[in-house]
């Protein structure tokens, strides 16, 4: 799998390193970034249409979005027929991250992260399956029909 797609494997490893740094490294939001986020949430909270948007919702959505590429990359590395394994690897990755966070003083393991990350990986796999299915349909040869003699 890696020998067939060395560039894809390298890109996947780089993205996994980035996810590792974001999820296991120092807390990503510094004072200024966190203040900007809270200010934006306060502004959005003033309006009825966006009052539902809070920190928990933003964090959940961010985790989903961060894991969509993981599901897609795992699927591309493994092949469309092994879609279930790509999902399983995405779930295993998030379980490993949450397990490791238990031992890091600046991190908190959260069951909601297991759910959001798993949803993101699954969405990535589904997007890849749809994308791959459409690509397969475009490149598939049209079925030849047996010629039927005309009646006359």
The contacts of residue 93 (CB under 8 Å, 6+ apart) are 16, 70, 117, 121
In a domain, 67, yes or no: yes
In a domain, 10, yes or no: yes
Question: How many distinct structural domains can be found in the chain?
Answer: 1
In a domain, 147, yes or no: no
In a domain, 123, yes or no: yes
Full-model pTM: 0.77
In a domain, 103, yes or no: yes
- Full pLDDT tens readout for the chain, 152 residues: 556 788 999 999 999 999 998 899 876 555 665 677 667 767 777 777 777 777 778 889 889 999 999 999 999 999 888 999 999 999 999 999 999 999 998 888 899 999 999 999 999 999 999 988 776 545 555 555 566 666 65
In a domain, 145, yes or no: no
Domain residues for 103?
Answer: 6-23+52-139
């Amino acid at each position: 799998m890696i020998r067939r797609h060395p560039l894809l494997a390298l890109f996947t490893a780089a993205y996994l390193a980035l996810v590792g740094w974001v999820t296991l490294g120092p807390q990503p939001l510094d004072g200024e970034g966190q203040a900007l986020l809270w200010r934006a949430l306060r502004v959005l909270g003033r309006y009825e249409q966006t009052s539902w948007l809070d920190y928990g919702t933003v964090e959940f959505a961010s985790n989903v979005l961060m894991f969509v590429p993981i599901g897609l990359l795992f699927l591309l590395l493994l092949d469309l027929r092994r879609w279930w394994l790509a999902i399983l690897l995405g779930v295993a990755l998030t379980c490993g991250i949450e397990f490791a966070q238990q031992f890091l003083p600046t991190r908190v393991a959260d069951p909601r992260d297991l759910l959001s990350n798993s949803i993101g990986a699954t969405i990535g796999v589904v997007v890849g399956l749809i994308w791959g299915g459409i690509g397969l349909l475009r490149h598939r040869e049209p079925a030849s029909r047996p010629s039927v003699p005309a009646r006359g």
